[in-house]
Structure 1
Amino acid sequence: MDTWHDMDIPGHVEAYLAGQPEPKQADLRQVHAQVLADFPDCRLWFNDGLNADGKVVANPTIGYGVYTITYADGSSREFFRVGVSANTAGISVYVLGLEDKTYLARTYGALIGKASVTGYCIRFRRLADVNTDALQAAIRHGMTVDHPG
Protein backbone atom coordinates (compact mmCIF):
# COMPACT_ATOMS: atom_id res chain seq x y z
CA MET A 1 0.00 0.00 0.00
CA ASP A 2 1.47 3.33 -1.05
CA THR A 3 0.79 5.74 1.78
CA TRP A 4 2.60 8.77 0.35
CA HIS A 5 -0.68 10.45 -0.52
CA ASP A 6 -3.01 8.70 1.91
CA MET A 7 -5.27 11.11 3.80
CA ASP A 8 -4.77 9.42 7.19
CA ILE A 9 -1.05 10.07 7.41
CA PRO A 10 -1.17 10.97 11.15
CA GLY A 11 -2.90 7.63 11.78
CA HIS A 12 -0.22 5.72 9.86
CA VAL A 13 2.52 7.63 11.72
CA GLU A 14 0.94 6.80 15.08
CA ALA A 15 0.55 3.11 14.18
CA TYR A 16 4.19 3.01 13.08
CA LEU A 17 5.38 4.68 16.29
CA ALA A 18 3.17 2.45 18.46
CA GLY A 19 4.64 -0.63 16.78
CA GLN A 20 8.22 0.22 17.76
CA PRO A 21 9.79 -1.40 20.82
CA GLU A 22 10.89 0.70 23.75
CA PRO A 23 13.14 2.59 24.24
CA LYS A 24 13.26 3.23 20.46
CA GLN A 25 9.58 4.23 20.46
CA ALA A 26 10.12 6.94 23.08
CA ASP A 27 13.14 8.30 21.18
CA LEU A 28 11.23 8.37 17.88
CA ARG A 29 8.26 10.07 19.56
CA GLN A 30 10.58 12.71 21.05
CA VAL A 31 12.17 13.52 17.67
CA HIS A 32 8.73 13.52 15.98
CA ALA A 33 7.26 15.86 18.62
CA GLN A 34 10.23 18.23 18.36
CA VAL A 35 9.97 18.52 14.57
CA LEU A 36 6.22 19.20 14.85
CA ALA A 37 6.82 21.74 17.63
CA ASP A 38 9.39 23.59 15.49
CA PHE A 39 7.38 23.28 12.25
CA PRO A 40 3.71 22.86 13.25
CA ASP A 41 2.40 23.59 9.76
CA CYS A 42 4.83 21.39 7.84
CA ARG A 43 3.59 18.74 5.44
CA LEU A 44 3.66 15.29 7.06
CA TRP A 45 4.52 12.21 5.00
CA PHE A 46 4.60 8.50 5.67
CA ASN A 47 6.30 5.91 3.48
CA ASP A 48 5.60 2.31 4.48
CA GLY A 49 8.77 1.12 2.73
CA LEU A 50 6.92 -1.08 0.24
CA ASN A 51 7.26 -0.91 -3.53
CA ALA A 52 4.39 -1.25 -6.02
CA ASP A 53 4.52 -5.05 -5.67
CA GLY A 54 4.19 -4.88 -1.87
CA LYS A 55 7.82 -5.90 -1.34
CA VAL A 56 9.80 -4.24 1.47
CA VAL A 57 12.48 -2.08 -0.12
CA ALA A 58 13.20 0.40 2.68
CA ASN A 59 12.54 1.05 6.35
CA PRO A 60 9.22 2.87 6.91
CA THR A 61 9.92 6.60 7.17
CA ILE A 62 8.10 9.61 8.60
CA GLY A 63 8.75 12.67 6.45
CA TYR A 64 8.46 16.39 7.15
CA GLY A 65 8.25 19.43 4.89
CA VAL A 66 8.36 19.45 1.13
CA TYR A 67 10.68 20.42 -1.68
CA THR A 68 10.74 19.71 -5.40
CA ILE A 69 13.36 17.39 -6.84
CA THR A 70 14.16 18.22 -10.47
CA TYR A 71 15.74 15.42 -12.47
CA ALA A 72 18.21 15.69 -15.35
CA ASP A 73 15.47 14.84 -17.87
CA GLY A 74 13.47 17.88 -16.69
CA SER A 75 10.84 15.90 -14.78
CA SER A 76 10.23 16.71 -11.15
CA ARG A 77 8.42 15.47 -8.07
CA GLU A 78 7.80 16.55 -4.50
CA PHE A 79 9.59 14.86 -1.64
CA PHE A 80 10.06 15.45 2.08
CA ARG A 81 12.95 17.55 3.41
CA VAL A 82 13.63 15.58 6.61
CA GLY A 83 12.86 11.94 7.31
CA VAL A 84 12.95 9.89 10.53
CA SER A 85 13.15 6.13 10.49
CA ALA A 86 13.82 3.25 12.86
CA ASN A 87 16.48 0.77 11.78
CA THR A 88 17.79 -2.41 13.38
CA ALA A 89 20.55 -0.57 15.25
CA GLY A 90 18.61 2.55 16.24
CA ILE A 91 17.31 5.63 14.45
CA SER A 92 18.16 7.38 11.19
CA VAL A 93 17.44 11.06 10.55
CA TYR A 94 17.63 11.96 6.86
CA VAL A 95 18.33 15.55 5.82
CA LEU A 96 17.62 15.58 2.10
CA GLY A 97 18.31 17.96 -0.74
CA LEU A 98 21.56 19.44 0.56
CA GLU A 99 23.79 20.52 -2.33
CA ASP A 100 26.94 20.26 -0.19
CA LYS A 101 27.26 16.58 0.74
CA THR A 102 29.94 17.43 3.34
CA TYR A 103 27.76 19.97 5.19
CA LEU A 104 26.20 17.66 7.81
CA ALA A 105 29.46 15.96 8.78
CA ARG A 106 31.42 19.23 8.70
CA THR A 107 28.87 21.21 10.70
CA TYR A 108 27.53 18.65 13.18
CA GLY A 109 29.92 15.68 13.13
CA ALA A 110 32.12 16.90 15.99
CA LEU A 111 29.19 18.19 18.05
CA ILE A 112 26.62 15.45 17.72
CA GLY A 113 28.12 12.75 19.93
CA LYS A 114 27.81 9.01 19.27
CA ALA A 115 26.35 9.16 15.77
CA SER A 116 27.37 8.28 12.24
CA VAL A 117 26.99 11.32 9.98
CA THR A 118 27.04 10.91 6.19
CA GLY A 119 26.09 13.26 3.34
CA TYR A 120 22.38 13.06 4.15
CA CYS A 121 21.95 10.79 7.20
CA ILE A 122 22.54 11.03 10.94
CA ARG A 123 22.34 7.55 12.45
CA PHE A 124 22.46 6.79 16.17
CA ARG A 125 21.49 4.03 18.59
CA ARG A 126 19.76 6.11 21.28
CA LEU A 127 18.75 9.74 21.56
CA ALA A 128 20.63 9.80 24.89
CA ASP A 129 23.86 9.15 22.94
CA VAL A 130 23.63 12.35 20.91
CA ASN A 131 23.64 16.08 21.50
CA THR A 132 19.96 16.81 20.88
CA ASP A 133 20.65 20.54 20.31
CA ALA A 134 22.99 19.64 17.42
CA LEU A 135 20.48 17.12 16.05
CA GLN A 136 17.72 19.71 16.25
CA ALA A 137 19.94 22.28 14.51
CA ALA A 138 20.61 19.83 11.66
CA ILE A 139 16.87 19.13 11.31
CA ARG A 140 16.07 22.87 11.36
CA HIS A 141 18.68 23.44 8.65
CA GLY A 142 17.15 20.72 6.49
CA MET A 143 13.67 22.15 6.96
CA THR A 144 14.62 25.72 6.08
CA VAL A 145 17.50 25.56 3.56
CA ASP A 146 16.73 26.84 0.06
CA HIS A 147 16.68 23.97 -2.39
CA PRO A 148 17.87 24.37 -5.96
CA GLY A 149 14.96 24.70 -8.27
Structure 2
Amino acid sequence: MDIRKEIIGYLESLPQQKRKEIETLDNYIRELLPDCELWFLDGKDSDGKTVSNPSIGYGTQTLRYQKGKSKKFYQIGISANARGISIYIMGLKDRTYLSKKYSQDLPKASITGYCIKFKTLMDIDIVALKRALVDGINCF
Protein backbone atom coordinates (compact mmCIF):
# COMPACT_ATOMS: atom_id res chain seq x y z
CA MET A 1 0.00 0.00 0.00
CA ASP A 2 1.11 3.58 -0.65
CA ILE A 3 2.63 5.15 2.49
CA ARG A 4 0.56 8.33 2.18
CA LYS A 5 -2.62 6.22 2.06
CA GLU A 6 -1.49 4.28 5.14
CA ILE A 7 -0.91 7.57 6.97
CA ILE A 8 -4.34 8.87 5.95
CA GLY A 9 -5.94 5.61 7.14
CA TYR A 10 -4.10 5.89 10.46
CA LEU A 11 -5.20 9.51 10.92
CA GLU A 12 -8.82 8.60 10.11
CA SER A 13 -8.73 5.91 12.79
CA LEU A 14 -7.89 8.41 15.54
CA PRO A 15 -10.42 10.26 17.70
CA GLN A 16 -11.17 13.68 16.18
CA GLN A 17 -9.20 15.85 18.66
CA LYS A 18 -6.12 13.67 18.57
CA ARG A 19 -6.34 13.47 14.78
CA LYS A 20 -6.36 17.28 14.54
CA GLU A 21 -3.29 17.52 16.76
CA ILE A 22 -1.36 14.84 14.85
CA GLU A 23 -2.29 16.61 11.59
CA THR A 24 -1.02 19.90 13.04
CA LEU A 25 2.28 18.25 13.96
CA ASP A 26 2.43 16.61 10.54
CA ASN A 27 2.12 20.05 8.93
CA TYR A 28 4.88 21.52 11.14
CA ILE A 29 7.26 18.70 10.33
CA ARG A 30 6.52 18.81 6.60
CA GLU A 31 7.32 22.55 6.64
CA LEU A 32 10.69 21.74 8.23
CA LEU A 33 11.37 18.73 5.96
CA PRO A 34 9.38 19.45 2.77
CA ASP A 35 11.04 16.82 0.57
CA CYS A 36 11.68 14.17 3.19
CA GLU A 37 11.05 10.47 2.88
CA LEU A 38 7.81 9.49 4.65
CA TRP A 39 7.50 6.39 6.81
CA PHE A 40 4.58 4.60 8.35
CA LEU A 41 5.10 1.93 10.98
CA ASP A 42 1.92 0.08 11.86
CA GLY A 43 3.27 -1.10 15.22
CA LYS A 44 3.28 -4.78 14.29
CA ASP A 45 6.23 -7.16 14.22
CA SER A 46 6.97 -9.64 11.43
CA ASP A 47 4.46 -12.09 12.95
CA GLY A 48 1.67 -9.47 12.88
CA LYS A 49 1.72 -9.03 16.66
CA THR A 50 1.19 -5.48 17.93
CA VAL A 51 4.39 -4.35 19.68
CA SER A 52 4.01 -0.54 19.63
CA ASN A 53 1.68 2.25 18.64
CA PRO A 54 1.61 3.12 14.94
CA SER A 55 3.87 6.02 14.00
CA ILE A 56 4.49 8.42 11.14
CA GLY A 57 8.14 9.06 10.34
CA TYR A 58 9.92 11.82 8.44
CA GLY A 59 13.40 11.95 6.95
CA THR A 60 16.00 9.22 6.78
CA GLN A 61 19.06 8.36 8.80
CA THR A 62 21.20 5.30 9.31
CA LEU A 63 21.11 3.86 12.81
CA ARG A 64 24.30 2.07 13.74
CA TYR A 65 24.34 -0.59 16.42
CA GLN A 66 27.20 -1.67 18.68
CA LYS A 67 27.81 -4.96 16.91
CA GLY A 68 28.31 -3.26 13.53
CA LYS A 69 24.79 -3.68 12.16
CA SER A 70 22.91 -0.73 10.76
CA LYS A 71 19.50 0.09 9.33
CA LYS A 72 17.66 2.98 7.75
CA PHE A 73 15.15 4.70 10.00
CA TYR A 74 13.31 7.99 10.28
CA GLN A 75 14.73 11.16 11.88
CA ILE A 76 11.48 12.47 13.38
CA GLY A 77 8.42 10.41 14.31
CA ILE A 78 4.99 11.14 15.76
CA SER A 79 2.56 8.74 17.35
CA ALA A 80 -0.74 8.92 19.18
CA ASN A 81 -0.92 6.88 22.36
CA ALA A 82 -3.49 6.24 25.08
CA ARG A 83 -2.36 9.23 27.15
CA GLY A 84 -1.56 11.71 24.38
CA ILE A 85 1.13 12.16 21.75
CA SER A 86 4.76 11.10 21.45
CA ILE A 87 7.32 12.82 19.27
CA TYR A 88 10.50 10.89 18.55
CA ILE A 89 13.67 12.78 17.70
CA MET A 90 16.05 10.07 16.63
CA GLY A 91 19.81 10.11 16.16
CA LEU A 92 20.83 12.55 18.86
CA LYS A 93 24.29 11.56 20.10
CA ASP A 94 23.72 12.90 23.63
CA ARG A 95 20.81 11.00 25.20
CA THR A 96 20.42 13.73 27.84
CA TYR A 97 20.27 16.64 25.37
CA LEU A 98 16.48 16.91 24.98
CA SER A 99 15.76 16.81 28.68
CA LYS A 100 18.57 19.23 29.58
CA LYS A 101 17.62 21.74 26.91
CA TYR A 102 13.80 21.53 26.90
CA SER A 103 12.58 20.40 30.35
CA GLN A 104 12.00 23.96 31.52
CA ASP A 105 10.34 25.08 28.28
CA LEU A 106 8.13 21.97 28.14
CA PRO A 107 7.27 21.34 31.83
CA LYS A 108 4.08 19.38 31.09
CA ALA A 109 5.95 17.00 28.80
CA SER A 110 7.77 13.83 29.75
CA ILE A 111 11.16 13.94 28.02
CA THR A 112 13.49 10.97 27.59
CA GLY A 113 16.61 10.45 25.49
CA TYR A 114 14.74 10.67 22.19
CA CYS A 115 11.06 11.16 23.03
CA ILE A 116 8.85 14.08 24.05
CA LYS A 117 5.45 12.93 25.35
CA PHE A 118 2.57 15.18 26.25
CA LYS A 119 -1.19 14.97 26.69
CA THR A 120 -2.26 17.68 24.24
CA LEU A 121 -0.68 20.44 22.15
CA MET A 122 -2.44 22.98 24.37
CA ASP A 123 -0.21 21.84 27.26
CA ILE A 124 3.07 22.74 25.60
CA ASP A 125 4.99 25.66 24.17
CA ILE A 126 4.79 24.98 20.44
CA VAL A 127 7.74 27.29 19.70
CA ALA A 128 9.95 25.25 22.05
CA LEU A 129 8.69 22.03 20.46
CA LYS A 130 9.54 23.37 16.99
CA ARG A 131 13.06 24.26 18.24
CA ALA A 132 13.48 20.67 19.47
CA LEU A 133 12.39 19.35 16.07
CA VAL A 134 14.87 21.64 14.31
CA ASP A 135 17.61 20.44 16.67
CA GLY A 136 16.76 16.87 15.71
CA ILE A 137 16.86 17.65 12.02
CA ASN A 138 20.11 19.61 12.30
CA CYS A 139 21.96 16.83 14.12
CA PHE A 140 22.64 15.18 10.74
Q: Normalized against structure 1, the TM-score is what?
A: 0.90
Question: Which consecutive unaligned segments of at least 5 residues does structure 2 have?
Answer: none
- 1:32-85 CA distance string (max 9 Å, x none): 011001211011100000011110001001001111112222221111011100
- What secondary structure, in the 3-state scheme, does the structure 2 residue paired with 1:42 have? coil
Residue in structure 1 matching 2:114, options 116, 120, 131: 120
Aligned to 2:135: 141
Aligned to 1:26: 20
One-letter amino acid of the counterpart of residue 19, structure 1: S
- What secondary structure, in the 3-state scheme, does the structure 1 residue paired with 2:16 have? coil
Separation (CA, whole Å) in 2 of partners of 1:74 and 1:103: 25
Aligned to 1:83: 77
- Give 1:134 shift: 0.7
Aligned to 1:110: 104
Question: Which consecutive unaligned segments of at least 5 residues does structure 1 have?
Answer: 1-5
- Give 1:22 shift: 2.2
- 1:88-133 CA distance string (max 9 Å, x none): 0000001111111110011111002411111111000000100001
Aligned to 1:70: 64
Aligned to 1:3: none
Separation (CA, whole Å) in 2 of partners of 1:74 and 1:120: 21
Q: Normalized against structure 2, the TM-score is what?
A: 0.96
Report the identity percentage. 42
Supply the RMSD in Å over aligned alpha carbons. 1.0
Q: How many residues get paired?
A: 140
One-letter amino acid of the counterpart of residue 130, structure 1: I
Q: Which runs of structure 1 show a deviation greater than 3 angstroms over 4 or more consecutive aligned residues? A: none
